[in-house]
Amino acid sequence: MPQSRFAMLMMAPAMLFLGVMVAYPILLLIDNSFYHVELLKPAVRTWLGLDNYIKVLTSERLEDAALRTLRYTVFALFFELVFGVMAALLFDALGAASRWHRTVFALPLMVSPIVAGILWRFLLIDQVGIINYGLAALHIIADPGAVSWLGNQDIVLYAVSFPDIWLTTSFVALVVFAGLQNIPRDVLDAARIDGANAFQRFILVRLPLLRPVIAVVLIVRGVDAAKTFDLIWIQTEGGPNFQSEVLSMNIYQRMIRYGDVGQASATATLFLAAMVILAVLAYRFTWGKNRDA
Amino acid sequence: MRDLPLDRTDMRVRLQPTAILAGATLVVLLYALPYVYLLLTSFKPANDVLQIPPSFFPQRLSLENYAGAIGNPSIPGAFLNSLIVAICSTALALVLAVPAAYGASFFPNRLSGWFLLFALVTRMVPSVSLGVPFFSLMRSIGLLDTQLGLILAHTTISLPLAIWMMAAFFESVPRELEEAARIDGCSRFGALVRVILPVVGGGMAISALFAFIASWNEFLYALLLTSQRATTTPIVISEFKTAYGLSWGPMTAIAVLYSAPVIVLSIVLQKQIVGGLTFGAVKG
């Protein structure tokens, strides 16, 4: 059998599956976005043209949800990266002795967001969670009831990201640690001979060499954070007063609670397009930069 | 290289390895604390779970919460559903991904390039954007609230993942191996099955693990596509919250039962998992 036909034969089943289960549903989604379709009456379809898009794009609730998704993603990503890199540097400084530490750090590596969300909800529960008691004992807050993390509209969006940060700092730390291990020792020694101190070595030598690793972490984690649904849902279901409603949740609510398949599809199409464009741009940007180096 | 003259910064760093060790240990303990608290809480009697003020250590030990969790009529069925769906979607993903990744990485051409790119882009698609049309699709073919429907949906997550991981593992296998097997009289397919697959066995195991956990942890598709018969563990956990008021005691127990296998696996296979999560990005 010729090589190309064999390769084709090997790929065909997976292609077929992705075609039927990914490409076709996306076409279905785009198609539905031009119609008025109700969840309970799928057979009745009224052509609307771009009306759904106009409706959702002028919807304040969608605009708020999109901004919240962005704020949530940037906030969570920032702390995951800072904590993760700091932990990785600490492990690297420890050298071989960090094995035990890294094993514990692997603890939440693949824990379900549902469990993390429940856990943190419990830690912050109804203003009487153990965290508030701890903060009160340290006199950081006046009394355990002083801060309602998940009930206060101004901070809830950031409070729901705590489990995300907890869950993912370990991923960032272990990946960046692996990246640090791959930086040749003689490069660092050369920098040391040239008189660079530890901070300068980090900024001028390690950080540039870590760039591809950090780029991958940023893309993978950025996409995941922007898609977040379960972790926030289990904590607040988007409340109070929609203040923790992100895009995924907005689409889910349009579909299930309001039964408007058309508008949900239009929003989901826009979300999908934005994510793919952003991810491809980020990928090309970082990949292109790598090739120069 | 270790004997180089040290500047003052390094002296300071080297003279305080104990400080670094202490700092790292503190960080790690703080990091593990939330989960340890969950674990300890799950062994408290149900009435002590929400005591005021909260105590870190249980005053009395009890298996009441576990009895409450396992005694919930939805739990055994949900665990079984989770297990069946995860095993079947893992098997399906691997059966599709292994030959596809082999074809794409051993015999690359323009088509296989597009194929790998499409698999990568699939990973960027927000689950909700597939979940909305899945609902209509599954309803029209009668797969709503069935294990099969959820298996197919979960495979859309695990298949692209498995394709990329397996492609990375095949990349590290020398091409000569296939040529040698062919010279020895194997067919192209025989070369894959008899010579190449045994070499990437470890890679297949890690890909399977990732596929399994992706399905085990998945929430949104299960929420959209199942309601009773095919409902999985995370959905039942989330309903503990709404339907039973806040029955925190059994909820902590069920959270431990549901996450413990995954945590043990994460710790045991830490190294392989980190490698898999980055698709070999670290090694470049």
- Can you list the domains of chain B with their CATH numbers? 83-230 (1.10.3720.10)
Instruction: Please give the pLDDT value at position A289.
Output: 53
Q: Is residue A30 part of a domain?
A: no
Mean pLDDT, residues B217-233 taken together: 95
**Is the pLDDT reported for residue B277 higher than 80?**
no
Q: Is residue A14 part of a domain?
A: no
CA-nearest of B212, B218, B253 to B233 is B218
**Is the pLDDT reported for residue A196 higher than 90?**
no
**Is the pLDDT reported for residue A197 higher than 60?**
yes
CA distance to A177, A206, B18, B29, per residue, from B10 (Å)? 20, 16, 14, 27
ipTM of the complex: 0.91
Is the preceding omega at residue A208 within 30 degrees of 0, hence cis? no
Q: Is A48 on the interface with B (CB under 8 A)?
A: no
CB contact under 8 A, A113 and B133: no
Q: Is A166 on the interface with B (CB under 8 A)?
A: yes
CA-nearest of B8, B75, B151, B246 to A199 is B8
Instruction: Please give the pLDDT value at position A274.
Output: 93
Distance (Å) from the alpha carbon of B182 to chain A's nearest alpha carbon: 12
Distance (Å) from the alpha carbon of B254 to chain A's nearest alpha carbon: 9
**Is the pLDDT reported for residue A290 higher than 60?**
no
Q: How confident is the model at residue B284 (pLDDT cuts 50, 70, 90)?
A: very low
Quote the CA–CA distance of A217 and B282 in Å, as a whole number: 10
**Unique residue bearing structure tokens 């005591």:** B51
Q: Is residue A28 part of a domain?
A: no
Among the partner-chain residues A22, A104, A133, the one whose CB lies closest to the CB of B54 is A133
More confident residue, B66 or B72: B66
Torsion, CA B220, CA B225, CA B231, CA B235, rounded to 10: 20
Over the stretch B46-63, which tens digit does the pLDDT of each residue have? 888 888 788 888 988 999
Range of the domain at A221: 41-292
Mean pLDDT, residues B260-269 taken together: 85
Over the stretch B162-181, which tens digit does the pLDDT of each residue have? 999 999 899 889 989 999 99
Q: What is the mean pLDDT of chain A?
A: 90
**Is the pLDDT reported for residue B251 higher than 70?**
yes
Q: Is residue A77 part of a domain?
A: yes
Residue to test with chain A: of B2, B33, B125, B137, most A Cβ within 10 A: B125
Q: Is residue A18 part of a domain?
A: no
Distance (Å) from the alpha carbon of B181 to chain A's nearest alpha carbon: 15
The CATH number for A136's domain is: 1.10.3720.10
Quote the CA–CA distance of A87 and A125 in Å, as a whole number: 28
CB contact under 8 A, A261 and B126: no
Q: Which amino acid is at A113?
A: P
Q: Is residue A193 part of a domain?
A: yes
Mean pLDDT, residues A23-48 taken together: 93
| Total number of domains constituting chain A | 1
Among the partner-chain residues A11, A103, A275, the one whose CB lies closest to the CB of B103 is A11
Q: How confident is the model at residue B245 (pLDDT cuts 50, 70, 90)?
A: low
Among the partner-chain residues B109, B112, B270, the one whose CB lies closest to the CB of A103 is B270
Q: Is residue A102 part of a domain?
A: yes
Residues of B in contact with A175 (CB under 8 A): 274, 277-278, 281-282
pTM score, whole prediction = 0.90
